[in-house]
């Protein structure tokens, strides 16, 4: 018997050991008849929704007003059918978790109603996204056109997915808003919880490392840079030591605020007043009045020349 064949003889016992953990460590497997939402299907629906929101930029070329209605109509029908199924799966799983039993409730109609409500919001989402695109163009002198924002800016991708996911979050859809948000996080490096409330004309410049927590509230015309965290200060617990949920944990950012790179703003009671500027690397856990600029003192820079190299090159240095 060859070494490879000898190794294969161990596979059945290894398989049995793995399957045994499905009972012993049952919290990380889903071996039930009722299917969960499909990740690939959710992402496919998202891509179609982005095509509906920004027609002519992605999949289909040569669209004009003579044919765009037919094209978008087909996409809408497909999104409605597929997303309704995925939402129904998510709702059914949530009901089983809460009731700890199989449910005989047909969630198809409820899921279809939620899907229709989302699609009815598309005109308003497009209106808001147009303000986001304009904010990116107005806020970045390196940008040459609105088309460049739509093609190239990860911040726009992140806020586009967020505005879709937030509509589902508001309607109590389990799983799917977070699936959308985490896919966007992976694609853009920008982590926005679907519960965050973000008003129009929002611009994330560069974007990498931005974190926006679930109960964050952001007003109009807010601009933030890479590495900004809008997070929770702490996680209160009840008498049994369990985290208390469903409370305001993240800051409120009022209108016309700029937050520069690597700043951290924490706490549900923290309010950054309108027309304020938060400088780079600031750490804030308390509120700031409107029209306030917050900065940290610039550290003193120390430079030391290599004396031996300076002498050898007959160079003059001020140390």
Residue by residue, DSSP assigns 249-270 as -S-EE-TT-EE-TT-EEE-TT-
Q: What is the pLDDT of residues 34-77, one digit of tens each?
A: 889 999 999 999 999 999 999 999 888 889 999 999 999 999 99
Phi, psi at 204, each rounded to 5°? -105, 115
Query: pLDDT value at position 102?
Result: 58
Go through 27-55 and write b for each residue having 16 or more CB atoms within 10 A of its CB, e for each that does not: eeeeeeeeeebeeeebebbbebbbbbbbb
- In CATH terms, is domain 23-190 a member of 1.10.3130.10? yes
pTM: 0.88
Q: What is the pLDDT of residues 224-248, one digit of tens each?
A: 999 999 999 877 777 777 877 888 9
Tell me what percent of the residues of the chain surpass a pLDDT of 90: 74
Phi, psi at 93, each rounded to 5°? -65, -45
- In CATH terms, is domain 196-319 a member of 2.160.10.10? yes
Q: Can you give the residue ranges of every domain in the chain?
A: 23-190, 196-319
Q: What is the pLDDT of residues 113-125, one digit of tens each?
A: 999 999 999 999 9
pLDDT above 80: residue 176: yes
d(CA 259, CA 277): 6
Cross-strand partners of 224: 204, 259
Query: pLDDT value at position 292?
Result: 97
What is the pLDDT of the chain when averaged over all its residues?
91
pLDDT above 80: residue 282: yes
Query: pLDDT value at position 319?
Result: 43
Phi, psi at 154, each rounded to 5°? -65, -30
Q: What is the pLDDT of residues 248-276, one digit of tens each?
A: 999 999 999 999 999 999 999 999 999 99
Query: pLDDT value at position 105?
Result: 67
Q: pLDDT tier at 317 (50, 70, 90 boundaries)?
A: very low
Query: pLDDT value at position 59?
Result: 86
Q: pLDDT tier at 103 (50, 70, 90 boundaries)?
A: low
- Which has more pLDDT, 164 or 302? 164
d(CA 211, CA 231): 7
Q: What is the pLDDT of residues 209-222, one digit of tens each?
A: 999 999 999 999 99
The residue-averaged pLDDT of 301-318 equals 64
Instruction: Give me the count of residues in the chain.
Output: 319
Q: Are 247 and 268 in contact (CB under 8 A)?
A: yes
How many secondary structure helices (H) and strands (E) does the chain include? 10, 14
């Amino acid at each position: 018997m060859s070494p490879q064949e000898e190794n294969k003889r161990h596979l059945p016992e290894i398989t049995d050991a793995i399957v045994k953990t499905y009972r012993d460590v049952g919290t990380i497997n889903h071996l039930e008849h009722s299917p969960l939402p499909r990740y690939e299907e959710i992402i496919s629906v998202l891509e179609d929704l982005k095509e509906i929101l920004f027609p002519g930029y992605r999949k289909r070329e040569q669209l004009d007003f003579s044919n765009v209605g037919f094209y978008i109509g087909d996409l809408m029908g497909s999104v409605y059918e597929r997303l309704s199924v995925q939402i129904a799966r998510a709702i059914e799983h949530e009901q089983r978790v809460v009731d700890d039993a199989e449910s005989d409730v047909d969630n198809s109609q409820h899921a279809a109603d939620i899907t229709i409500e989302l699609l009815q919001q598309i005109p308003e989402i497009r209106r808001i996204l147009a303000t986001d695109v304009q904010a990116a163009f107005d806020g970045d002198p390196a940008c040459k056109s609105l088309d460049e924002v739509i093609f190239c800016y990860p911040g726009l991708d992140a806020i586009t997915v967020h505005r879709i996911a937030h509509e589902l979050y508001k309607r109590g859809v389990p799983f799917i808003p977070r699936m959308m948000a985490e896919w966007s996080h992976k694609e853009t490096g920008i982590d926005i919880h679907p519960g965050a409330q973000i008003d129009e004309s929002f611009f994330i410049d560069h974007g990498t490392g931005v974190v926006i927590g679930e109960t964050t509230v952001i007003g109009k015309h807010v601009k933030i840079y890479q590495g900004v965290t809008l997070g929770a200060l702490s996680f209160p617990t009840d008498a049994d030591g369990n985290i208390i949920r469903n409370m305001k944990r993240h800051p409120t950012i009022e209108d016309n605020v700029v937050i520069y790179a690597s700043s951290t703003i924490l706490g549900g009671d923290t309010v950054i007043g309108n027309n304020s500027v938060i400088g780079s690397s600031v750490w804030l856990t308390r509120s700031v009045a409107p029209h306030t600029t917050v900065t940290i003192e610039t550290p003193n820079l120390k430079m030391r020349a290599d004396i031996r190299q300076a002498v050898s090159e007959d160079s003059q240095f001020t140390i």
